[in-house]
Structure 1
Amino acid sequence: MTRLSGFAQTLKASDIAALLKLTEKPEVISFAGGLPAPELFPIEEMKSVDTAIYETEGSKAVQYGLTEGYGEFRKQLQKRMKDKFFVDCSTEDIVVTTGSQQALFILSQLLLDEGQTVLMESPSYMGAIMAFNPRWPKYTEVPTDEAGMIPEELDKILAADDSIRVIYVIPEFQNPTGITWSLERRKAFIEVINKYDVTVLEDNPYGEIRYDIERIPSLKSLDTQGKVVYMGSFSKIFLPGLRLGWIVANPQIIDKFVKFKQAVDLGTSTFGQRQAAYYCNMYDMEAHIRKITDLYRKRRDIMCASMAKYFPDSVTFTYPKGGLFTWVTLPEHVDATALMPKCLARNVAYVPGGIFYPNGGRRNHFRLNYSNMPEERIVEGVKRLGEVLHAALDA
């Protein structure tokens, strides 16, 4: 028997994980994953991109590179941060990561000691909870409404707990709820955190998938004290399999981040970074994003219209202005996890909401993804969910 670490011994498959494995069957209409639409992956263009990389750079393209990232790609990210997220930064402020999940993990290692507290929205992204857990933190959920984290409640919590080191937030089209923080709420948040010795992790993988809302300055753009670490991703707007993310942070964090990343993987795929950089130079990335956005807006509308038609009146849901998810709320006495086997029996799946709360509880929610399934399957899947919900709530 191999002697494992204490943390490794805590790693067990949950009942939910076992249920979600069943969603891989082709007959299942799955709204569970946060998967982009595969039909929009620019496969033919990437064939030309790969040829151009080899013809231009040859073997250099597949050699080791800087841990910080491929220079041309970081220049493009610097411009993207200015144009899209209102952030003035240098390439030295940017590190390319192997997906934003790696950024979450490394940052948790750099910023947290065992027993310290992480503040999160309520609910929040389950992948962040997974990344933080190896540090054995405590979690405090900050009351959250349709405009985001409530500043007055945040201030009370920060004033009462000196062990708080990290605040993790998703201000744009939040996962799982789909809500977006207002500009007023963002400014109030910055005013609060400026009073305390904390680091804010601003996760923004969905910010470029916008439907009905103008761009709002990111928290990082409002940050005057270097307290905000911005995390971005190409996974939702380009090719998720390339695993390309990035952080923008103050020099102290960048220095430690690079040193830790060297111990993790030495550096993110040099060829994958070139693929993204060359695509941006050879093709119109903004047109590609508009194409994605148009399709996802249509699918959001179809899902929300179908829920309004087929779900019981006592069930509510969010109408996101961007991103990939809507959040469904059932009457308080209904357990979404308990309902899931009945839905799987009808070959339709979602993610039960309980796992988005780091301290458990509040099981009367589930998350639906609308980006991956074609329109006719969205309608049929929501109809099947509605039948299960009616059977459970009308009995």
Structure 2
Amino acid sequence: MSSRPQPPAFAARVASTGGSPVRDILAVTERPEVVNFAGGLPAPELFDAEGVAAAFGAVLSETSQRALQYATTEGEPALRAALADRTTERGLATGPDDLLVTTGSQQALSLIATALLEPGDTVLVENPCYLAALQVFGFAGARIVPVPGDGDGLDPEALEELVARERPKLLYTVPTFQNPTGRTLPAGRRAAIARVAARLGLWIVEDDPYGELRFEGERVPWIAAHEDAGDRAVLLGSFSKVMAPGLRLGWLRAPAALRRACAVAKQAADLHTPTVNQLAAARYLADRDLDAHVARVAAAYRERRDALLAGLPDALPEGSSWNRPEGGMFLWVRLPEAYDTTALLPQVVRRDVAYVPGAPFYAATPETSTMRLCFVTHTPDEIAEGLRRLGEGLRRSQH
């Protein structure tokens, strides 16, 4: 009996990029008894299910033939017009033709990588960085270089030195309520980044999935709104955190040539984002007050953030530090250096509580004593119980 030859090997990019450690953790922590600070999911009980259902019902009853048909790659005109109005109201003059609707802003990031990156190109990222962005750039074959920073985010002077030395194609940043740290880049640094990009030649990819979830403080203008960034900034947006992630609706705003290149890449990826979802979102924006809904969500998230902040001093070992995010979904913790949060996670999970170790979010050398805590998917009482379990697990680890 002759042996059959194996089929050809997978692409090298698959082996080199690997899966998401965060998704692996989530699979372990889906038991209902687990207080899960590891998730990056919005609170499902706060979805406006009634409003979304009404929007779908109206679209399917009134325009079913159109809603169930193919659509243009760029996106439904009604949705693009509504998104353009919302973007303009927030300080960045935008027309419908400036936007490309995507299947979640994660797809927008993939389209940007397809349109801009050749294997071996250099990409600059924050340190630490949104994990799925590292995956996208890894799949593109990019060389990923972290920009040094501090508790406020990346350092524009360090950015300037890296751009001059490394000649990167783009900088990727989540400047508002960043994933994983929850920090917000100050206005002065945003202006400085725009100046660096203009002076030295650089694309800026500004990802803003959390910006509307502000609890306190003043809104900080987008980097893309700075005049220096106008011809080189890509702004990514999403309904995932403010309406529902299951809709898979995102968008990108980009200069015309890059937007057209992304549209060509999208044609090859999925032709277009689902028509019915786009029309339902446009109908929701016309019939409902999304801003009022977001305000209700943000009020609940603020209460949950405050519960987490109140319990951290008793739960964490002496010498730990953490930040106070003004919005979003995440808070960043740094334990004393002797702690390795990746090694500790299994024994913490045995106490029915979970977090995400910080190490996977680093493009280079990780800080192994860090962790990301998501505070939005549990009530204040559940958060208090989760912190009690976490504290017990961390204390046991040192015996």
- Aligned mates of 1:237, 1:16 — CA distance in 2: 22
- Tell me whether 1:39 sits opposite 2:45 in the alignment: yes
Match of 1:371 in 2: 376
Aligned equivalent of 1:196, options 184, 197, 200: 200
- Aligned mates of 2:61, 2:143 — CA distance in 1: 52
- Aligned mates of 2:315, 2:369 — CA distance in 1: 18
Match of 2:80 in 1: 74
Match of 1:92 in 2: 97
- Aligned mates of 1:23, 1:53 — CA distance in 2: 37
- Tell me whether 1:52 sits opposite 2:58 in the alignment: yes
Match of 1:351 in 2: 356
- Tell me whether 1:184 sits opposite 2:208 in the alignment: no
Cα offsets for 1:39-88 (capped at 9, x unmatched):
1111222232222112321211111111111111101110111112x111
CA gap of 1:13–1:181, structure 2 versus 1, over 3 A, is closer
Match of 2:31 in 1: 25
Q: Please state whether the residue corresponding to 2:145 is helix, strand or coil.
A: strand
Match of 1:61 in 2: 67
Q: How many angstroms does 1:174 deviate by?
A: 0.7
- Aligned mates of 2:223, 2:378 — CA distance in 1: 32
- Contact 1:100–1:244 (Cα < 8 Å) also in 2: yes
- Aligned mates of 1:151, 1:12 — CA distance in 2: 31
- Aligned mates of 1:6, 1:373 — CA distance in 2: 40
- Tell me whether 1:125 sits opposite 2:130 in the alignment: yes
The two structures, once aligned, show a CA RMSD in angstroms of 1.5
- Aligned mates of 1:198, 1:15 — CA distance in 2: 30
Superposition TM-score, scaled by structure 2 size: 0.95
- Contact 2:187–2:221 (Cα < 8 Å) also in 1: yes
- Aligned mates of 2:96, 2:24 — CA distance in 1: 42
Match of 1:150 in 2: 155
Cα offsets for 1:106-158 (capped at 9, x unmatched):
11111111111111111010010011111211111111122221111111111
Cα offsets for 1:193-219 (capped at 9, x unmatched):
211221110000000000111111101
Match of 2:165 in 1: 160
Amino acid at match of 1:191: R
Aligned equivalent of 1:320, options 308, 325, 344: 325
- Contact 1:173–1:322 (Cα < 8 Å) also in 2: yes
Q: How many angstroms does 1:392 deviate by?
A: 3.1
Q: How many angstroms does 1:313 deviate by?
A: 2.4
Q: Please state whether the residue corresponding to 1:24 is helix, strand or coil.
A: coil
Match of 1:106 in 2: 111
Q: Please state whether the residue corresponding to 2:297 is helix, strand or coil.
A: helix
- Contact 2:25–2:38 (Cα < 8 Å) also in 1: no
Amino acid at match of 1:391: R
Amino acid at match of 1:54: L
Q: Please state whether the residue corresponding to 2:204 is helix, strand or coil.
A: strand
- Aligned mates of 2:22, 2:76 — CA distance in 1: 39
Cα offsets for 1:254-273 (capped at 9, x unmatched):
11111110000000011111
Query: How many residues of Structure 1 are paired with residues of Structure 2 in the alignment?
Result: 392
- Contact 1:147–1:185 (Cα < 8 Å) also in 2: no
- Aligned mates of 2:208, 2:19 — CA distance in 1: 28
Q: How many angstroms does 1:2 deviate by?
A: 3.4
Match of 1:260 in 2: 265
Match of 1:9 in 2: 15
Unaligned segments of structure 1, at least 5 residues: none
Q: Please state whether the residue corresponding to 1:195 is helix, strand or coil.
A: helix
Unaligned segments of structure 2, at least 5 residues: 1-5
- Tell me whether 1:290 sits opposite 2:295 in the alignment: yes
CA gap of 1:61–1:207, structure 2 versus 1, over 3 A, is same
- Tell me whether 1:170 sits opposite 2:174 in the alignment: yes
- Aligned mates of 2:240, 2:209 — CA distance in 1: 8
- Aligned mates of 1:35, 1:103 — CA distance in 2: 19
Match of 2:274 in 1: 269
- Aligned mates of 2:173, 2:16 — CA distance in 1: 26
Q: Please state whether the residue corresponding to 1:216 is helix, strand or coil.
A: coil
Cα offsets for 1:308-364 (capped at 9, x unmatched):
232222111111001000001011231100010011110111111000001242111
Cα offsets for 1:222-263 (capped at 9, x unmatched):
144411100001000001100110000000101111111000
- Aligned mates of 1:18, 1:50 — CA distance in 2: 33
- Aligned mates of 2:226, 2:251 — CA distance in 1: 19
- Aligned mates of 1:53, 1:16 — CA distance in 2: 36
- Contact 2:25–2:356 (Cα < 8 Å) also in 1: no
Aligned equivalent of 1:380, options 375, 380, 385: 385
- Contact 2:17–2:135 (Cα < 8 Å) also in 1: no
- Aligned mates of 2:85, 2:261 — CA distance in 1: 24
Amino acid at match of 1:241: G
Q: Please state whether the residue corresponding to 1:247 is helix, strand or coil.
A: strand
Q: Please state whether the residue corresponding to 2:178 is helix, strand or coil.
A: coil
- Contact 1:19–1:341 (Cα < 8 Å) also in 2: no
Match of 2:3 in 1: none
Amino acid at match of 1:143: P
